[in-house]
Structure 1
Amino acid sequence: MEFEVNGVPHTADTDDDPTAVEVLRDRLGLTGTKLVCAGGVCGACTVQVDGEPRVSCLTPAARLAGCRVTTAEGLAGHPVARAFAGRDALQCGYCTPGFVVEAAAFHDRWRSGHGRTAPGRERIADALAGHLCRCGAYERIFDAVAAACAGEYDAEPDPAAAPPRAEAPEKASGTARYTTDLRPEGLLEGVVIRSPHAHALVRSLDAGDLPLVRLLPSDGVVRYVGQPVAAVAAPTRAAARAAAAKVVVEYEVRPAALDVRRARAGEGPLVYADKAARKQAPSSGEGGLGLPAKWEGNRRGPVSMNKRGGEAVRRILKARAKAPERLVEGVYTTAAQSHTPLEPHAALAHWSDGTLRLELSTQAVQRVAQLAAERWGLPPERVVAGAPHVGGGFGSKMGLTTDVVAAVELSRLYGAPVRVSLDRDEELTDGGYRPATRIRLAMAADTAGDLSALAVDADSDGGVSVGGTVAALARFMYGRAPRRLRDFDTVTNRPPGAPFRGPGGPPLCWALEQAVDEMAHRLGHDPIDLRRQWDGNSKRRALYDWAAALPVWNDVRRGGTGRYRRGVGVAAANWLYFVDPATEVELTVEEGTVVARSAVQDMGTGARSVLRRAVADGLGIEEGRVRVEIGRSGPVHGPVSGGSRTTPSLAPAARDAAARLRAALGGGDVASRLDSAHGTRVTGKRPRDRRGFALPFTLGGLAVGRGFTGSVQVAEVEVDTRLGRTRALRVWSGISAGRIHEDRLARNQCEGAVVQGVGYALYEERRTDPLTGRVLTENLEDYRIPGIGDTPEITVHFHQEGFEHVPGGGVGLGEVATLPTAAALANAVYDATGWRPYDLPIRPDRLLEGLRP
């Protein structure tokens, strides 16, 4: 077959009937065309065929014969690619090439008919409806496409003007390389063999002459459908799958605990039969940390975070008997929310001369290197891990995950580089999810309208995992009233949950913020005024004042009796301030350029840009004279990208390094001395907070700082009472996280957090078969994440005071920005209809049932 790609003639053999994406990626090396869903749903593999966008995962390569194919690499100079880089219309960047290809075709059609005019949001959303961005960068994408169509990026950009995101041009052009894109010589592809049973003992594995790696737990028991059993490798993925199909596994099937209600009641077969087995339970909590607790059958807990808990219960019982109008009680449930980053879990391992080399899709490149050294008995310097670009994680890529272990063991067994990448069904089955919850809440107010008592019992349903922390977070919100807070884990034979962006926070807000809203209505208070009355945090008080001044909040609400009803809701949240105090940044002068290095990774939050700006500002030089090298383990310690700790760890260390380099160069005009300072090297460390930390110790490199971040969100919705659909129209997100180091990147991240909150509220629902335990939502059609057309107009407001004791004045905001969104939308639905949603997501069937007379 002959065809043209980006203006270059090519010949490809299509006798084995490959798809177009396979030919472009594997044979031509055009890895900007990403394979994500393999079902034509996400748009990441989009290319232009004779000028028309087409998903290459569903296009047979033979259909390209005689055609002109254009990939993202061929559009690097297109106005749309420039606009995506210039307007920061991306985060992790894994979906970006597909967006650029589709948007470029739309741009060309639009300009031919409308000239240099900007299309509206609806036209852009219609054009890009077949594309998904799990990071939620849709607001910036709207902006970039409109600007490109209006002609703002027709000219070449000024070479001296650095884009907001350092790596944006590479990501927009498809030339940024991720772990899934790398192809060293002799590469083998690994495939994981997984259990078809929810609970079984593996009696034997028969692979014949095929080399095979066992991935079973030490007791040989599999506890969920999809649990790794073994792994094999072959030169191609298809050959590896064929080899895996020949492996015979003998199982002794055991009764499985699949009914959450029975497990919660202490009934049904045990998932973990004894104490030794329970120690193997993975954690769904932040950092893998969990407090000890008792087990009763398949229920673990309670883990209590009480404050005068007995008094709280007495006050609630008294209010129930004598003042029910000042008591709010309810049972709130949330569905499991899958992480599903568009770049799946992926690892490439190669043993060479006694050194283990890893290329990873990870949020913790330094930590994984350390864990690998411990697991395989190597000196730390004999493990080199890299993660140059990471296609999202959201908390699911934090340690020695299955892909890493399988790749390392296979590489050692086969004596070759081996990559293991999860397919989308594997990612949605075993890649991690926010546990579902059942929250029983009771809240009492006194005669003055102040919070009198709070009781929260939260059950986390994270399959075989434990460590859910939901109720405990209510300890830190709304003053000092007595409260009884208890967390439980209900364990079943289903895949394990994992920490997900503010673990425990969104489900707590779902219950707590709706209860506060309900209390405001019962007491006849404005919902913002009641929160201001209860909340002693000065930073959030400033956000309440901002929210109360919004015109939409002062409009007449409660949307009438017609089919379409509009409502407005509010919700608030806080989050702990975390930091890695051991963070370092090394600066080296190399031929007139300052090279900044740290063992940190960038999964779309902008670590490169934060480093570049902090170093340039500290030295008083242009950003173009700073080169950032990250994503590689080594002696310069870098933080994990999780717990909202990256920027508050990295930026102060970079400024300290800049101050040290300035001193080493004699101060004054640093720029004029760089050309003669080749080889000068300094290492900066993150200074200690002025008031120290809240705890005198660190937990896995994580320190708890003093002070809480805050978020107040106002949401407007439109409810279709005939079809039961809820549409998020606008969201105003107020964030208090101190100084913002990179304004545009921070807004992008906060907007994406809102989008993920919209998905949590309205669409996302991980489901399993109640009889077999198999995950049913195993593709991106059945598991629905928000698209660009689901994106409300989002306004972000930063309150930048309150963290003056922190070096640099700012802390993390990625988690607090998503916590209150679902609750704000639920309160808006109540405002529109008078019906209170207790179960998440707010599905059409639930809404229609609630509105039924």
Structure 2
Amino acid sequence: MTSTTINGRPLVLPDDPDALLIDVIRDGGLTGTKLVCGSGVCGACTVLLDGTPVVSCLLPAQAAADKSLTTIEGVGAAGLHPVQKAFMAHDALQCGFCTPGFVVEAAAFHDSWRATKGAATPSREEIAAALSGHLCRCGAYEGIFRAVAEACSGRFDGNEPIAPRLEARDKVTGLARYTVDVHHDGQLEGVILRAHVAHARITGLDLAPARAIAGVAAVVPLLDDDNMVRFVGAPIAAVAAKDRRTALQAIAAISFKPEPLPAVIGLDAARRDDAPVVFEKKDRKRAGNVSEGAGGAPVSWKGNVRGPSAPFSQKAKRAKSWLDEARQQRNPLLVEDTFRVSTQQHASLEPHAAVARFDGDQLIVHISTQAIHESMEKIAKRYGLPHDKVRVIADHVGGGFGSKGSVGLETIAAIELARAAKAPVRVAFDREEELSVAGYRPAAELKLSLLPSAEGRLKALSLTAHADTGAAVNSLIAGLARLIYPAEAKELVDFDVLSNLPPGAPFRGPGGPPMSFALEQAVDEAALRMNVDPIHLRKLWDPDPNRQRLYDWAAGLDVWKNRKPAAAQTGRYRRGVGVATGYWLYLWQTGSSVELAIKGGRIVASCAVQDIGTGTRSVIANTVAKAFDLEPHDVDVRIGRSSLPSGPGSGGSRVTASLVPPTLLAIDKLKAEIRRTASRTPAPGSNAPWREMIAASPDIAVSAKRQEDGKPPPGVRPALHEAGIMGRVFGWVLRLMNHMVVGAGVPSSVQVMEVEVDTWLGHVRVLNAYTGLAVGKLAAPALARSQAAGAVIQGIGYALYESREADPSSGHILSGSMEDYRIPGIADMPKLDVHFDEAGFEHVPGGSVGIGEVATVPTSPAIANAIRDAIGVRLTEIPFRPDRLVAALKGRDAA
């Protein structure tokens, strides 16, 4: 029998040579150490072994024998470590799932640095090298750079700072509890049996062999009633057992007969006339949904191609005619090209997970979800339960980005297994499941034609998008081009191309980044042909007042004014500067409610909303604290429970705009109640009258629902009104079916990127990023900057690295690990300047709208335009892989 000490306490290690250190740590209740990749790539499981950082997901438990082990819970156990204080002060975190691993590694770096370098400040390069084994999908790298640098310089040797994020302390100490950390007495582990063929009918499903295995408590079928699987990874059955090893043994024992059917993989193959059909006409309703709204309008199908969908076109026939004429005349101003964008995985570090248990007649489900209240309603409907008999809980959520917006298979499997086993069951996807079947931003092919008029205006635009949606429908890419750059005529056509691949899902600004990638490059190309400044042309073509102000900001940047043309550069490394713009809709959710109460002399704010890392707690706390002259930490914010007043889902950048207005209404109500019930008034000249009145107040409670906006200023209308009658119909359906309102005004972003291109090896590095955002008043300024930075780094990943790879014959996802699916690391983070323009949304109560979507839309085309500026070659396919760039340079030289 061997042992170790963990955070100063003795721990007996298991004799099993296959036992991993991370399992021993987490099974012992120290859940701050997170399992993410399982392959030593992401760093989330980092611990200290005799003071040296190691990844516990690869280390056998026996490797810790007779050594000292320190987890995140032991770092700063006698008081916060300077690195923990710095992470809190600089908001060097968002969802927080990766934060414990970063803190452990950074604390070790700090201690070594201080021992050898004193209070010198490490460079960005030194910090990046030290933390290069860690990944943050939220993109909190900019704050991490600042935090580590200042901790090493001694700034945080003193007292604990005031953190801008309410839950920061729990996240930097590993105390924040996520769904994967939940453990009930008698809890079982659930595992899903998935299809290994892309298309088949399943017959002869026999669950008995699995049920016969010792330690198995329940086995349930998960097939649809047609017994079909339409992609590799489709669910067949699920098992609940005493541990994961037993559950895996059980699903291996399940027998069935797959009757293979013809399959088709990918965009090009699925469009062939002779391609096997994924969904017969009678089965089309079984297709998944890649949009954030309800199902789209009825659209024609031909084989695997759903479309054309063109409700946002404007004088499409006229656009076709003008473009045909321009082709015949070989008009030099006509810009035409085909653009391709790759699949982008959400790659949330906390996997899709659910823990279900029945407590008498009540169903309690912990879910890593972006929609607590909606999940409760859907679960209640599915299982025929009253709303008050279903409780959905999500204390903390480790990222989502659109992939966790609905009741997923993990939740259904956990509930079914818990009901069958009569015991709590946890179902958590492994990393391969997360990177294959949990959703993705669809790849797409975009054919674009853009025609300026002889007078320099935008005359005609045609954009046709074919989205590679897998077994899903309802993409919207081309249609989003209706709401920017007014033209005399626009032909905007969307197609879904279905194939035997897992269904896509909404991803941060769904449809926006691919649309912008094509359109913003075409606008830049038009500027080159017209011999005008690209920002000047955008100002001419784009009348939106929010973006007009951002164009002026971008034009005044030194990096823009001092850029050099490609022809003026020589040598291996070339630098370029590019600009792009983007927008997203201003959305809010009807029925969103906030309760404010005084309990025991303290204000309590409650709402059934979740915080996926965007800072919802802090937004509510800041709003309340400001009104009562308090500090945000004086406000007790209670979220993450479906039993609280109805809250919005975290999708479409609608949370802040849905919650701040009713919070302001509730504040007015609470103030009135405090005055009405006050037994005494504050002393004359009091410095804190509201604090005194709150402390003396009896327990009271008020609530408010999200009210309608005020009248917008002249010329500002809901974005969908600009899309004509079909836009207004779409907005009405969105409100009726999804309780979402498209408000007046358009959140906007203009980005300027400076890149360095290695013309020998084809590598692109983003050196400096400048992002201007018009998103109204900032409810939580530090967190707004964090969101903007995270959006930029995800856009950089989309442009330079990220691409799902699938076997074109079998449909197996080949990039099912974080070794094979590359997301940006800390060394990929450029220096970032964020400019917020807070005007434009004064008609919104509180003046705040969303940030997360709009801030990532223009990143990839800004990088593309910068590359064109650097080397004189336009790249039309992302990611910008080295082989593609080198081939483009060779083609240029050959020409």
TM-score where L is the length of structure 2: 0.93
2:848 aligned partner: 810
2:710 aligned partner: 690
Whole-Å Cα distance in 2 between the matches of residues 576 and 265 of structure 1? 35
Whole-Å Cα distance in 2 between the matches of residues 622 and 333 of structure 1? 49
Q: Is 2:99 aligned against 1:96?
A: yes
2:214 aligned partner: none
- Aligned partner of 2:759 among 691, 716, 721: 721
Whole-Å Cα distance in 2 between the matches of residues 369 and 483 of structure 1? 42
Structure 2 counterparts to residues 158-307 of structure 1, below 5 A: 161=162, 163-208=163-208, 210=211, 211-274=218-281, 276-304=282-310, 305-307=312-314
Q: Is 2:132 aligned against 1:129?
A: yes
Q: For structure 1, which runs of at least 5 residues remain unmatched after alignment?
A: none
- 1:476 to partner: Cα distance: 0.3
Structure 2 counterparts to residues 16-95 of structure 1, below 5 A: 17-26=18-27, 28-76=28-76, 77-95=80-98
Specify the SS of the correspondent of 1:817: helix
Q: Is 2:409 aligned against 1:416?
A: no
1:597 aligned partner: 606
- 1:558 to partner: Cα distance: 2.8
Specify the SS of the correspondent of 1:286: coil
2:322 aligned partner: 315
- 1:287 to partner: Cα distance: 2.6
Residues 216-259 of structure 1 show CA distances to partners (whole Å, capped at 9, x for unaligned) of 12211100000111100111111111111111121111110125
Whole-Å Cα distance in 2 between the matches of residues 94 and 521 of structure 1? 45
Q: Is 2:112 aligned against 1:109?
A: yes
Whole-Å Cα distance in 2 between the matches of residues 478 and 357 of structure 1? 49
Contact 2:435 2:815 in 1 (8 A): yes
Contact 1:201 1:254 in 2 (8 A): yes
| Most deviating of 314-323 and 571-580 | 314-323
Q: Is 2:162 aligned against 1:142?
A: no
Whole-Å Cα distance in 2 between the matches of residues 673 and 134 of structure 1? 44
Whole-Å Cα distance in 2 between the matches of residues 272 and 74 of structure 1? 54
Contact 1:164 1:609 in 2 (8 A): yes
Structure 2 counterparts to residues 564-579 of structure 1, below 5 A: 564-579=573-588
| Most deviating of 112-121 and 810-819 | 112-121
Whole-Å Cα distance in 1 between the matches of residues 578 and 644 of structure 2? 49
Q: Is 2:469 aligned against 1:462?
A: yes
Specify the SS of the correspondent of 2:349: coil
Residue identity opposite 1:322 in structure 2 = Q
- Aligned partner of 1:612 among 621, 624, 627: 621
Whole-Å Cα distance in 2 between the matches of residues 287 and 424 of structure 1? 27
Whole-Å Cα distance in 2 between the matches of residues 762 and 307 of structure 1? 34
- 1:152 to partner: Cα distance: 1.1
Whole-Å Cα distance in 1 between the matches of residues 399 and 369 of structure 2? 9
1:450 aligned partner: 457
Whole-Å Cα distance in 2 between the matches of residues 698 and 577 of structure 1? 17
Whole-Å Cα distance in 2 between the matches of residues 259 and 632 of structure 1? 40
- Aligned partner of 2:780 among 737, 742, 751: 742
Structure 1 vs Structure 2: percent identity of aligned residues? 48
Q: Is 2:680 aligned against 1:671?
A: no
Residue identity opposite 1:675 in structure 2 = A
Contact 1:764 1:783 in 2 (8 A): yes
Contact 1:283 1:290 in 2 (8 A): no
Residue identity opposite 2:885 in structure 1 = L
Contact 1:124 1:145 in 2 (8 A): yes
Residues 56-111 of structure 1 show CA distances to partners (whole Å, capped at 9, x for unaligned) of 00111101011111111111411101111111000000000000000001101111
- Aligned partner of 1:775 among 813, 816, 828: 813
Contact 2:4 2:12 in 1 (8 A): yes
Specify the SS of the correspondent of 2:109: helix
Residue identity opposite 2:649 in structure 1 = V
Whole-Å Cα distance in 2 between the matches of residues 259 and 576 of structure 1? 30
Q: Is 2:552 aligned against 1:545?
A: yes
Residue identity opposite 1:552 in structure 2 = V
1:829 aligned partner: 867
Contact 2:188 2:240 in 1 (8 A): yes
Whole-Å Cα distance in 2 between the matches of residues 813 and 523 of structure 1? 33
Specify the SS of the correspondent of 1:332: strand
What do you get for the CA RMSD once the two structures are aligned? 1.3
Whole-Å Cα distance in 2 between the matches of residues 752 and 333 of structure 1? 24
Whole-Å Cα distance in 2 between the matches of residues 483 and 149 of structure 1? 56
Residues 454-503 of structure 1 show CA distances to partners (whole Å, capped at 9, x for unaligned) of 00000000111111100000000012421000000111001110000000
Specify the SS of the correspondent of 2:597: strand
Distance 1:620 1:699, change over 3 A: farther
2:7 aligned partner: 6
- 1:324 to partner: Cα distance: 2.0
Whole-Å Cα distance in 1 between the matches of residues 335 and 353 of structure 2? 47
Whole-Å Cα distance in 2 between the matches of residues 572 and 219 of structure 1? 46
Contact 2:459 2:487 in 1 (8 A): no
Residue identity opposite 1:248 in structure 2 = S
Contact 1:618 1:659 in 2 (8 A): no
Specify the SS of the correspondent of 2:108: helix
2:649 aligned partner: 640
2:160 aligned partner: 157
Whole-Å Cα distance in 1 between the matches of residues 439 and 269 of structure 2? 24
Specify the SS of the correspondent of 1:201: strand
Specify the SS of the correspondent of 1:384: strand
- 1:215 to partner: Cα distance: 1.3
Whole-Å Cα distance in 2 between the matches of residues 72 and 701 of structure 1? 41
Specify the SS of the correspondent of 2:665: helix
Q: For structure 2, which runs of at least 5 residues remain unmatched after alignment?
A: 212-217, 682-688, 719-730
2:723 aligned partner: none
Residues 534-575 of structure 1 show CA distances to partners (whole Å, capped at 9, x for unaligned) of 000011010000000000101142341211000000000111
Whole-Å Cα distance in 2 between the matches of residues 218 and 457 of structure 1? 36
| Most deviating of 335-344 and 664-673 | 664-673
Whole-Å Cα distance in 2 between the matches of residues 43 and 255 of structure 1? 41
Whole-Å Cα distance in 1 between the matches of residues 227 and 14 of structure 2? 44
Specify the SS of the correspondent of 1:429: coil
- 1:16 to partner: Cα distance: 5.0
Specify the SS of the correspondent of 1:83: helix
Residue identity opposite 1:82 in structure 2 = K
Contact 1:558 1:566 in 2 (8 A): no
2:369 aligned partner: 362
Contact 1:231 1:410 in 2 (8 A): yes
Residue identity opposite 1:584 in structure 2 = S
Residue identity opposite 2:583 in structure 1 = N
Residue identity opposite 1:125 in structure 2 = A
Contact 2:13 2:65 in 1 (8 A): no
2:685 aligned partner: none
Specify the SS of the correspondent of 1:324: coil
Residue identity opposite 1:483 in structure 2 = K
- Aligned partner of 1:848 among 886, 891, 894: 886
Whole-Å Cα distance in 1 between the matches of residues 554 and 737 of structure 2? 36
Specify the SS of the correspondent of 1:143: helix
- Aligned partner of 1:791 among 816, 829, 839: 829
TM-score where L is the length of structure 1: 0.98
